[in-house]
DNA sequence: TAGATTGTTAATCGATTAACAATC
DNA sequence: TAGATTGTTAATCGATTAACAATC
């Protein structure tokens, strides 16, 4: 209802703010100013102020923000429902490592299922979750509201898996494969491909560029 | 010498182009047009043309690009040296999964070492690489040109590890921890934090926004 | 009160898109 | 030649930064 469209770049900074605020909260810090935040996160002072004003707007001149209130306002952006429900598809090295990570994840993200097509893996347990047969995925999705699928199957199966989860009403995908996924624009896909990330870093290392120069 | 500063957003698209071109090359495609690329990668036609012109500029009107030449031009951006050398620090779940992935990585990225501080892990082997004691890292860096460090240690050790690699002349960092790293601006850091990525996706799912609206 | 900090308006910067001329 | 595709110039859009008024 009262939602506003948050610019893409702001969305990418919100986890940074949240993470920082959580750490301060643990240290029982009460108040926080945008200057302190910008200094510690290496961002522009005005940029932080603009971001926070957009998503919270509860700052007080001269005083700053009440930390817990600001954190609450940021958290409100994450979900209308109480939990964001997640499944992992592909119980290989990466899938298993990610699943284990969920034990330490923020509680608002719940890992509801792990799927694979390898009979050796099906019915084995990772943390306390039994790996299910991928063929049961449509049934599972029909009976649970799944928000995000984490795909870490071999690249050549990725598009097929993607099509299945999209058909089953998943809204977001975290793609750990090296395959570009063709999906409808209303599905939010984020890609984590190690080769791509290393390539970007390598290019920037090489690109500490001299200036533009005739071809 | 003849390098030009490539805009940030272009750098982020290059791996996408490269990945796509590699797949076409395997299918023995000879020529490629920017229209075909943009259609398949969901990008703007002009955007692709501008990007390719910036980094290659060897397109021929009416004909398009010779695929192998274009791929070559893109690959040239990645390194001046023949290889980009990588180390992984932290041999836990994620570190191990990533190391195993290197077997299938593009050959220009070489995993030269894996480090940990856990005596249980030191001297064990992952793929064909022996895990080394983290205390030997400075010596190792002094005797090998390491370009990029992948950090996947527990969050509370991340900054310390980061400081060590930066002191030892590493130029890029792929940070798999949930800790924000404070580094000099000339070091290229990319963060892969699952919670952050899930948070971004969750916000966007919730943010299919109605329009701006009075507070 | 004076200083610190917020929120906002205007200016700048950079990226994308539209329009179009050049050409194989 | 006509059509397809490139590369470029200008226009638009969006994000960042600078300047400043408001205020606890």
More confident residue, B104 or B213: B104
pLDDT at B212: 36
> If you average pLDDT over residues B158-170, what whole number do you get?
96
Number of residues assigned to chain B = 215
Which nucleotides on strand C sit less than 7 A from a protein beta carbon? 3-9, 14-19, 22-24
Predicted local confidence at residue A59, as pLDDT: 92
Evaluate the CA torsion angle A187, A192, A198, A202 in order and state its sign: positive
pLDDT tier, A4 (very low <50, low <70, confident <90, very high otherwise): low
Contact list, A110 vs chain B (CB under 8 Å): none
Q: CB neighbours of A107 closer than 8 A, spacing ≥ 6?
A: none
Say if residue A214's pLDDT is above 60: no
Residues 54-113 of B with CB under 7 A from strand D: 56-65
B203 beta carbon to strand D: under 7 Å = no
Closest nucleotide to A63's CA, by C1' atom?
C5
| A159-178 residues touching B, CB cutoff 8 A | 171-174, 178
Structure confidence at residue A104 (pLDDT)? 79
pLDDT tens-digit series, residues A140-191: 999 999 999 999 999 999 999 999 999 999 999 999 999 999 999 999 999 9
Give the pLDDT band of residue B213 (cuts 50, 70, 90): very low
Residue B210 has pLDDT above 60, yes or no: no
B155 pLDDT tier (thresholds 50, 70, 90): very high
B5 → closest Cβ in A40, A201, A212 = A212
Please report where in the chains the tokens 């209303």 appear, as a residue: A186
Going by pLDDT thresholds of 50, 70 and 90, the confidence category of residue B97 is very high
Q: How confident is the model at residue B4 (pLDDT cuts 50, 70, 90)?
A: low
Residues 6+ apart with CB under 8 A from B157: B117
| Mutation to test the A interface, candidates B6, B13, B15, most A Cβ within 10 Å | B15
Give yes or no for B5 touching A (CB within 8 A).
yes
User: What count of CB pairs under 8 Å joins A to B?
Assistant: 208
Beta strands in chain B (DSSP E): 31-32, 65-66, 84-89, 109-116, 125-126, 129-133, 148-151, 172-175, 188-191
B73-91 pLDDT tens trace: 999 999 777 899 999 999 9
* The pLDDT of residue B211: 39
**Which residues in chain B touch residue A98, judged by CB atoms under 8 angstroms apart?**
194
**SS3 at position A63:** coil
Q: How far apart are CA B20 and CA B37, in angstroms?
A: 8
């Amino acid at each position: 209802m009262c939602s506003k469209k948050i610019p893409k770049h702001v969305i990418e900074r919100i986890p940074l703010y949240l993470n920082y605020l959580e750490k301060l909260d643990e240290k029982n810090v009460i108040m926080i100013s945008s200057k302190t935040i910008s200094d510690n996160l290496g961002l522009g002072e005005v940029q932080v102020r603009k971001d926070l004003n957009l998503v919270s707007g509860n700052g007080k001149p001269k005083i700053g923000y009440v930390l817990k209130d600001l954190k609450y306002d940021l958290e409100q952006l994450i979900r209308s429902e109480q939990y964001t429900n997640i499944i992992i598809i592909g119980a290989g090295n990466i899938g298993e490592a990610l699943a284990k990570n969920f034990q330490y994840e923020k509680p608002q993200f719940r890992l509801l299922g792990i799927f694979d097509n390898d009979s050796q893996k099906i019915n084995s347990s990772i943390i306390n979750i039994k790996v299910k047969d991928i063929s049961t995925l449509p049934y599972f999705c029909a009976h649970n509201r799944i928000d995000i699928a984490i795909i870490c199957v071999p690249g050549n199966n990725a598009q097929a898996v993607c099509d299945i989860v999209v058909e089953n009403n998943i809204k977001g995908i975290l793609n750990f494969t090296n395959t570009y996924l063709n999906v409808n624009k209303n599905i939010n896909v984020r890609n984590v491909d190690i080769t791509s990330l290393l390539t970007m870093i390598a290019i920037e290392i090489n690109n500490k560029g001299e200036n533009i120069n005739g071809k």
